[in-house]
Amino acid sequence: FGDQECSFSDEFVVFDIETTGLSTRNCKIIEIGAVKIKAGEIIDTFNMFVDPEEPISELITQLTSITDDMVKGAPKIEEALKMFLDFCSDTMVVAHNASFDTSFIRTACGKCGLDFANTYLDTLAMSRFVNTDLSKHNLDALKEYFHLEDFHHHRASDDAEMLANIFFKMLEQLQ
């Protein structure tokens, strides 16, 4: 999505977020994790808790294992976004079910007067195109399909690293 052209060996930022819920209207980002990749290797990492300035529900803590204590004193959303956008620069970003992640980033940027204009690639759509033999295309299903190691699902940095490894495998398939 977007107009940036790139090749398989270019630099990408694979990212994931954790949030207090599913709605961009009233839910907040609580963690941003990303890995910068180039030519099939992870070359840099970004991981940051974000203070949502409100309590995290028990349901979200159970899902993500992120507690109020973990985000206490973390950067507020504007500072976290500035650091994340700086990490991304003008690189194409990659996310799984990217419309969810990018909508939260775009909405938060809008509230902070920041611009998120990066071209992005959705690995969920990519997997549906490349892995037509699969019935499920979530991270766990793709981890199993590509025989990758276990990871701490629903933690942004772990999901981003796993997604980078899945992305590498799908790029091999496309090549």
CA pair distance 53, 11, nearest whole angstrom: 34
- Please indicate whether residue 154 is annotated as part of the active site: yes
Catalytic residue among 96, 137, 153, 154: 154
DSSP string spanning 58-87? Answer: HHHHHHH---HHHHTTPPPHHHHHHHHHHH
Q: What is the largest CA-CA distance in the chain?
A: 46
Place of tokens 């994790």: 33
Distance, in Å, from the CA atom of 29 to the CA atom of 77, rounded to the nearest integer, reads 7
Closest CA to 100 of 120, 85, 127: 120
Helix (H, G, I), strand (E, B) or coil at 117: coil
Active site residues: 154
